[in-house]
Amino acid sequence: MNSERTAPDRNLALELVRVTEAAAMAASRFMGRGDKDGADGAAVDAMRVVLSTVPMDGYVVIGEGEKDEAPMLYNGEQIGDGTPPKTDIAVDPLEGTTLTALGWGNALSVIAASERGTMFTPPTFYMDKLAVGPAAAGQVDITASPAENLHAVAKALGKSVRNVTAVILDRPRHAELIAEVREAGARIRLIPHGDVAGGISTAFEESGADILLGIGGSPECVITAAALKCIGGELQARMYANTDDEKAAGHDLDRVLFTDDLVAGDNCFFAATGVTDGELLKGVHYDSRGALTDSLVMRSRSGTVRHVQGRHRLAKLAEYSLLEY
């Protein structure tokens, strides 16, 4: 039997969670220390080491930047041990560098994988996004007004608009959006950073988030789309030109990209581990026995979502890796 054909049936996410756990533990050492570059560097180093052991032929589509900007996990880098399956990879070793440096909540380490050639490569740095969970999927439209979408979400969730919570990045560019949401009567959770966590949280009732709106990073958009694809939520996006070069490039800024445009195919994987405590996941905690991690593991083909809690003996980890835990 062709091993390359059967390999994608393996639940790769169960192996990828080792990657996010390592990155989260490395970054967590910098929580509240005011060193976001140190936190990010530690997460990247740890993720790269563990990724090299994962049985896959991975190609980084969404990474730390171009090769001349990022020595590791750069766009186009080949990762994994080189064996099948061939995959596209999107990584954010530390989604929330400032959150970690300041000791704020909702910092994550995240990774997504899909079959080779299925991940969208954004031509602009920012995208306008709308994310909802499974209950409101198919009921929203990014070209409609915020009020119309809030009412659509309220109807889908069976509650009043005034009980709907919108997650929005706290940025000056969102002043008009925030005013419109307030005018509609909905609640708002303004977040300083971390719209991957914000987008994914719309799929979990216990998080208290119902819809994510606004402009954020394109890499985060693709990663969030992979997670929502696994869980049955929806992400819609439009490219947003922020620089003169992007504006002159002639991108179709009116084109609406749906979840399947951002991550095509029926077999994608997602893993995330909390770095600092948040609504979605707990951060890394330490006790006399070692470290405790809290992770989500998802697969689109089966629709399975696993909540994985890990206990790590740090001395044992250091014995079998290049990392200093």
Cα separation, 217 vs 195, whole angstroms:
8
Q: What is the pLDDT of residue 72?
A: 87
Closest to 40 in 3D by CA, of 50, 30, 53: 30
- Cβ-contact 4, 95 below 8 angstroms: no
pLDDT, mean of residues 266-292: 94
As a whole number, mean pLDDT of residues 281-297 equals: 95
Percent pLDDT > 90 in the chain is 84
3-117+268-319, CATH topology level: Fructose-1,6-Bisphosphatase; Chain A, domain 1 (3.30.540)
Q: Which fold has domain 126-262?
A: D-Maltodextrin-Binding Protein; domain 2 (3.40.190)
The answer to whether residues 115 and 102 touch, using CB atoms and an 8 Å cutoff, is no
Closest listed residue to residue 217, CA positions, set 90, 39, 45: 90
Domain-by-domain residue ranges, the chain?
3-117+268-319, 126-262
Closest CA to 318 of 115, 9, 26: 26
- Cα–Cα distance between 223 and 16 in angstroms, integer? 14
164 contacts 187 by C-beta, under 8 angstroms: yes
Burial of 232 (0-12, 13-18, 19+ CB in 10 A): middle
Alpha carbons within 13 A on the beta-carbon side of 49: 17
Question: Tokens in use for 55?
Answer: 């049985």
pLDDT score recorded for residue 248: 83
Rounded average pLDDT over 185-212? 96
pTM, 2 dp: 0.92
Structure confidence at residue 263 (pLDDT): 97
- Is the pLDDT at 13 greater than 90? The verdict is no
Under the banding of pLDDT at 50, 70 and 90, the label for residue 151 is very high
> Using an 8 Å Cβ cutoff, are 198 and 280 in contact?
no
For residue 173, pLDDT over 90 is answered with: yes
User: pLDDT tens digit string along 58-84?
Assistant: 999 999 877 657 788 999 999 999 999
Amino acid at residue number 18: R
Q: Is the pLDDT of residue 318 over 70?
A: no
What number is the average pLDDT over the span 175-193?
Answer: 97
